Amino acid sequence: EVWSCWIELLQYLDLETAWLNNLEEKVQMTGNLPDKLDAVNDALESLESVLRHPADNRTQIRELGQTLIDGGILDDIISEKLEAFNARYEELSHLAVSRQIALEQQLQTMRETDHMLQVLQESLGDLDRQLTSYLTDRIDAFQMPQEAQ
Burial of 125 (0-12, 13-18, 19+ CB in 10 A): exposed
The pLDDT-based confidence of 145 (bands split at 50, 70, 90) is low
Which domains, from first to last, does the chain contain?
1-110 (1.20.58)
pLDDT in the model for residue 7: 92
Higher-pLDDT residue of 36 and 137 is 36
Higher-pLDDT residue of 92 and 34 is 92
9 pLDDT above the threshold of 90: yes
pLDDT in the model for residue 86: 93
pLDDT in the model for residue 141: 65
79 pLDDT above the threshold of 60: yes
Which of the 8 DSSP states describes residue 119?
H
